[in-house]
Amino acid sequence: MEIELTAEQRAFRESCGKLAANLAARWHRGRGPHDIDPPTPGDDSWSRVVDSGWLAIGLREENGGAGASVVDLTVLAERLGYHAVPAPVLGAVIAAEQLQTWNAPPGLLQDLAEGGLRLAPALDAGLRTLAGAAENSLAWDAAGAEAAVIPATGVAHALGDALPFADPTRAVRPLGAPSGLPAITLTPPGEQALARLGAFTLSLLTADLLGTMQAALDAAIDHARTREQFGAPIGSFQAVQQLLADGHVLVEATRSASYHAAWAVDALPGAEALRAARVAKAFASRSAVEVCESAVQVFGGIGMTWEAPAHIWLRRAHTGRTVFGDEHHHQGVIADDDPHRS
């Protein structure tokens, strides 16, 4: 057993963090819901994402990628969550992985890797799983995307305007008529490959939630150190300390679950990896909301306003929790499993 990031992965984490912070800083959070930027990245931001190789690294080499591990990709996703990056990196990475799993032609995957073609993943109307048909389905993390592909048909669908969504850092858009893109020739993957795709997706969402809750906790700790009441920093009061300590426990447990889920996608058969990822996503979903709620609580009154960032993380926690299935969904699947397989 060897359960930490390698020196290379830690260096990658740092470089991802730098760019993620920079991308987040270019995004205007506004003074209220009426006045924030849409999550669509500007050309300059998007070209920095493309130049960083984030869209390419996870794809196999023959498809224009670097064949990075899922552990590497979750390192990236955690930093994107930490800085609440609005650019639709996860959406693009998941859409590309889905098409790679469906054996899309290398030329198309290369276009995705180079950011020339911008796709978003299509989910069912409940945002739980990748969509099997275009009707009522929704593209997630779709800011600036040209289309979403339904693999069963190979048809790329144009996307409508963003729907109202609790999280201003990500766009959800309905699938419309076939876009101008030519139909894509795809071949359905086997059961294990589909399970692996599910595990891949849940692992990335788990890592995004991990970053989100870590950021909220860090900000709450900072606030508790500096905000004074009764002549002392509120972080010196036991009631506040205990709330933050519980938050730290949940963050570290989620980190362990996230590492395990990501490792499992790289190392275990698809069905086992999917189970590990369900466990991680279920735990991360409820923990992220709990930690972000605690952070809002520690911020007090200002946490309830657009003057503080706390609500942004709480929003991202709730939407990250919902997308690809919340804890109730995954625990429901686990409850129906034969317990001998646990």
Partner 1 sequence: MNFADDPAEAGFRAGLRAWLRDHLDEHREGTGYESAESVERTLRWHRALAEAGYVGLSLPAAYGGHGLPDVYEGILNEELATAGAPASPPIGHIAHAVADFASEELKARVLPGLLGCAEVWCQGFSEPGAGSDLAGLTTTATADGDRFVVNGQKIWTSGAMWSDRCLLLARTEPGLARHRGLSMLVVDMRSAGVDCREIVLASGSREFAEVFFDDVSVPAANLVGERGQGWRIAMHMLAYERGPADMGWVGRLGRVLAEAREDVRTGRVAADAGLRLRLAEAAVDVEVLRWHVARSLAGRGGGSDGAAGSVDKLLTTRVEQNLYRVVSDLAGPSFVLGAPGPFADYLWSRAQSIYGGTQQIQRQIVAQRVLGLPRA
Contacts with partner 1 by CB under 8 A lie at: 1-6, 69, 71, 221, 224-225, 232-233, 235-238, 240-242, 244-246, 248-249, 252-257, 259-260, 262-264, 266-267, 279-280, 282-283, 327-328, 330-332, 334-335, 338-340, 342
**Residue closest to 203 by CA, chosen among 132, 107, 111, 276:** 276
The residue (of 170 and 329) whose beta carbon lies closer to partner 1 is 329
The minimum distance between CB 128 and partner 1, in angstroms, equals: 16
The minimum distance between CB 2 and partner 1, in angstroms, equals: 5
Residue 283 · residue 257 · CB < 8 Å: yes
Residues recorded for the chain: 342
The minimum distance between CB 250 and partner 1, in angstroms, equals: 8
The residue (of 275 and 318) whose beta carbon lies closer to partner 1 is 275
The minimum distance between CB 263 and partner 1, in angstroms, equals: 5
The residue (of 4 and 161) whose beta carbon lies closer to partner 1 is 4
Classified as helix, coil or strand, 190 is: coil
The residue (of 71 and 112) whose beta carbon lies closer to partner 1 is 71
The minimum distance between CB 245 and partner 1, in angstroms, equals: 4
| Residue with tokens 């190979």, as numbered in its chain | 154
The minimum distance between CB 313 and partner 1, in angstroms, equals: 17
Classified as helix, coil or strand, 159 is: strand
The residue (of 318 and 329) whose beta carbon lies closer to partner 1 is 329
| Residue with tokens 């609500």, as numbered in its chain | 311
Residue 180, φ and ψ in degrees, nearest 5: -70, -10
Residue 87 · residue 39 · CB < 8 Å: yes
Helix (H) or strand (E) holding 239: helix 238-267
The residue (of 146 and 327) whose beta carbon lies closer to partner 1 is 327
Burial of 98 (0-12, 13-18, 19+ CB in 10 A): buried
Residue 157 β-bridge partners: 148, 178
